[in-house]
Structure 1
Amino acid sequence: MSTARVPRGSTLLGRDLAIDLGTATTQVHVQGRGVVLDEPTLVAVDTATGRLVAAGATAHEMLGRTPERVLTMRPLSDGVITDAEVTEQLLRHFVERVRPTRLVRPRTVVCVPSGVTAVERRALEDAAMRCGARRVLVVEEAMAAAIGAGLPVDSAAASMVVDLGGGTTDVAVISLGGVVNARSLRVGGDEVDEAVAQGVREAYDLLLGERSAEQIKHQVGAVWPLATERTTRVRGRDLASGLPRTIELGSEEVRRMIEPVTAQVVEAVRAVLDVCPPELSGDLLDTGVTLTGGGSLLRGWTERLRHELGVPVRLAEDPQHAVIRGAGICVDDMKALRQVLTRQPAFQG
């Protein structure tokens, strides 16, 4: 885990938190300690009692293997809360694991997609308050990603970040500490997995589980032709016979399956560039585009966007932790980064 110096004036009892409650993973940064939790946003719930059976990595191990009365589910979809009660249980479970004490309620920075509605944002803020926060501050995921990627967000020169998450893709042009133009697309890694599962079902009459589709994406998935073809063996249930069957898939075939999803991301990035002011567009020819988020690790994104947009494209260091790293920097130095944070108005601390 990363570590950081506790800022002057803070105490061990009052360490503040940053939370990136994502569709696919939840990450938590504790002031002075760095990222202390990184687990799947997944719960296993007893359907008879509503009790939380497992959460995070433990629930992920149970995926597809639970008895009838235990439901494994994601309480978020496309970056927003779909089940408030279960989300609160999940968040409380994670926060209690990392909080050093219950005596002092911490300030909490939460990350939200750029296109979130006021109702969706308030649902996340309320969940954080009920889990023990004394004050909730919000940072847009694109801004947090830019800070976490080390971009000069305070500079007059424009920076562009594309954050490819599990449920959303956030695209933003940033200058002088603010977002000049942004777009949030409710498409991410989950839609890629669904496209793989659907493509295999249509081509081979083979039914795949969620975990199998995700493994195919990691093993042979790509959004740009690879120099060397990759292949993988896939096991699923034959839709005609109901029996297990194994097939072989190649990276080129998988690329065609996921093309409708990747094309949406490319168009979202192009749309943000199209409305960018001319002065800032000129900056981007030099500064280029920075990719963050776990979805950016899918092979070929830098080559695809460089070809489509004609600007430099780079992958951030440790891209899957860029958002929580940026939110953590905000927590560790709230005074310096006050302009990128907004406060939940109903509670003051």
Structure 2
Amino acid sequence: MLAIDIGTSEIIILRDGDVVLQEPAVVAVDVENRKRIAIGSEAKKMMGRSPEYIEVIEPIRSGVIVDYEGARLMLKSYLQDVMGRNWFVGPEVITAVPCGNTQVEQRAVIDVLLEAGARKVYLIDAPLAAAIGAKVPISDVFGNMIVNLGGGVIEVAVIASGGIVKVKQIRQGGGFVNDLIFDYLVSQYLLAAGKQVLEDIKIKLLSVVKLKKEEFIDIGGRDLLSGLPKKIKLSSTEVYELVRLDMEKIVTLMKSVLEATSAELVSDIIDRGVILTGAFAKTRGLDLWLSREIGIPVHVALEPEFSVVRGIGMVTDNWDLYRQSLR
């Protein structure tokens, strides 16, 4: 049985407790015949660099399949990589989906995995999988709060007695920072930057607390006036000021969930603290800033980018214990 985390930005597959595949959720296809040309890292390198006859697709957006055929081609190739090309019986698969996905969106995930070669598909709510992967004792009657910060969706959930008691989400994950930076570079510097440049800026400069020592990065792109190459120096202070207000959305979401939660469970959360999962949880200063804003201790899970897929993997290894958590 395989555990698969189908994220907006990357696909992670876990087998027998080990991560056996971690690749970008990108596929390049021939525009005319829609045949696959490249997937994963190779396809990502082609973004903004491909000729007209090649289309580079990101088939997952905000936890939803937006290009069904692109998702099918990508997942089929990844399953072949993991299972080997001569596999006769498709694997059983468990994957996580955001709690807010509609039945149609959930069905699309099941169907695309079946068409990609899976024999049977089970679904689990992403915050629940993240909690299990972060080694939160979800079966306890005591409450725990999980903030799962994915690339396309942010979910805040209160979990107790083996299930989700309260959950709210915004379909805006860590990827929103890239959009903010792109718009800022256009308006402030008349510079169009590629997706990899935006990702580098986020990784190297992003912090939700002002750094004591300012950091800089040289970036290149296309001058929107002349059309010629252009280089600028961007500072960590600029990025901090840019994202500071948008990060308030996470605080607002957390407060909204706490306000809708019983006093008993809130008391548990105060004692146990909040757990951050998802790749965006690694943002510098995020845990300390959130703790200051909501007045509750906030902790980052160990290797938060793997919390969901490791949680799914723990379900496969402890089927009888967690089976009731599946959809």
- TM-score, length basis structure 2: 0.96
What is residue 285 of structure 2 aligned with on the other side?
300
Residue 238 of structure 1, CA deviation: 1.4
**What SS class does the counterpart of residue 284 from structure 2 fall into?**
coil
Q: Equivalents in 2 of 1:33, 1:321: separation in Å?
A: 11
> For residues 62-83 of structure 1, what are the alpha-carbon distances to aligned partners after superposition, in whole Å with 9 as ceiling and x for unaligned?
2222111111120011110001
The one-letter amino acid paired with 2:104 is V
What fraction of aligned residue pairs are identical, expressed as a percent? 37
* Match in the other structure for 1:180: 165
Aligned to 2:34: 50
2-structure distance, mates of 1:305, 1:247: 32
Deviation at 1:103, TM superposition (A): 2.6
Per-residue CA distance 1:84-138 (angstroms, 9 max, x = gap) = 1111111111011111552333221011011111110000011112222222111
Residue number in structure 1 paired with 2:295: 310
**1:76-115 correspondence runs (5 A):** 76-99=60-83, 102-115=87-100
Q: Which runs of 4+ in 1 moved over 6 A?
A: none
Q: Which amino acid aligns with 2:199?
A: E
Q: Of residues 12, 15, 35 in structure 1, which corresponds to 2:19?
A: 35
Aligned 8 A contact 2:152 2:175 in 1: yes
Distance 1:105 1:45 in 2: 25
- Indicate which of 188, 210, 221 corresponds to 1:225: 210
Shift of 1:334: 1.3
2:146 and 2:67 mapped to 1: Cα distance?
30
Q: Distance in 2 between matches of 1:228 and 1:310?
A: 27
Q: Where does residue 198 of structure 2 map in the other structure?
A: 213
Secondary structure of residue in 1 paired with 2:73: helix
Distance 2:88 2:46 in 1: 34
* 1:170 CA displacement: 1.4
Q: CA deviation at 1:33?
A: 4.9
The reply to whether residue 199 of structure 1 matches residue 184 of structure 2 is yes
Q: SS of 1:336's equivalent?
A: helix
Structure 1 match to 2:105: 120
Structure 2 distance, partners of 1:263, 1:153, is 28
Contact 2:92–2:119 (Cα < 8 Å) also in 1? yes
The one-character-per-residue Cα deviations of 1:128-169 (angstroms, maximum 9, x if unpaired) are 122222221111111111110111111111111111111111
Quick one: which amino acid aligns to residue 33 of structure 2?
T
Counterpart-to-counterpart distance in 2, 1:301 and 1:316:
13
| CA distance in 2 between partners of 1:110 and 1:70 (Å) | 30
Kindly tell me the number of residue pairs found equivalent between the two proteins: 326
Give 1:257 deviation, angstroms: 1.6
Q: Do the aligned partners of 2:222 and 2:228 also contact (CA within 8 Å) in 1?
A: yes
Give distance in 2, aligned partners of 1:300 and 1:135. Answer: 41
Match of 1:61 in 2: 45
Amino acid of the structure 1 residue aligned with 2:67: D
Q: Cα distance, 1:226 vs. partner?
A: 2.0
Corresponding residue to 1:280 among 255, 261, 265: 265
CA distance in 2, matches of 1:266, 1:252: 21
CA distance in 2, matches of 1:296, 1:149: 12
Residue 231 of structure 2 is matched in structure 1 by 246
Q: Is the Cα contact below 8 Å between 1:195 and 1:261 reproduced in 2? A: no
Alpha-carbon distance between aligned partners in 2 of 1:130 and 1:48, rounded to the nearest angstrom: 22
Query: What is the CA–CA distance in structure 2 between the aligned matches of 1:51 and 1:296, rounded to whole Å?
Result: 36
Equivalent in 147, 171, 177 of residue 156 of structure 2: 171
Matched residues in 1 for 2:104 and 2:316: separation? 24
Distance 1:238 1:327 in 2: 45
Which piece of structure 1 moves more, 141-150 or 263-272? 263-272
Structure 1 pair 105–73 and aligned structure 2 pair: CA distance change class (3 A):
closer
Q: Which position in structure 1 is the counterpart of 2:136?
A: 151
Task: Name the aligned partner's letter for residue 318 of structure 1.
Answer: E
Which letter maps to 1:291? Answer: L
Distance 1:338 1:228 in 2: 49
Native 8 Å contact 1:154 1:177 kept in 2: yes
Residue in 2 that maps onto 1:6: none
The answer to whether the Cα contact below 8 Å between 2:57 and 2:70 also exists between their aligned partners in 1 is no
- Deviation string, structure 1 residues 288-344 (Cα, Å, up to 9, x no partner): 1111111111212102211111000011101111100001111122111112112xx
SS across alignment from 1:240: coil
Distance 2:312 2:76 in 1: 19
Aligned-residue RMSD, C-alpha: 1.3
- Tell me what 1:142 maps to: 127
Q: Which runs of 5+ in 1 are unaligned?
A: 1-15, 343-349
> Cα deviation per residue 1:44-77 (whole Å; 9 max; x = unaligned)?
1110110011111111122222111111120011
8 Å CA contact 2:127–2:157 kept in 1: the answer is: yes
> Tell me, what secondary structure is at the counterpart of 1:328?
helix
- Who is 2:145 aligned against? 160
Unaligned runs of 5+ in 2: none
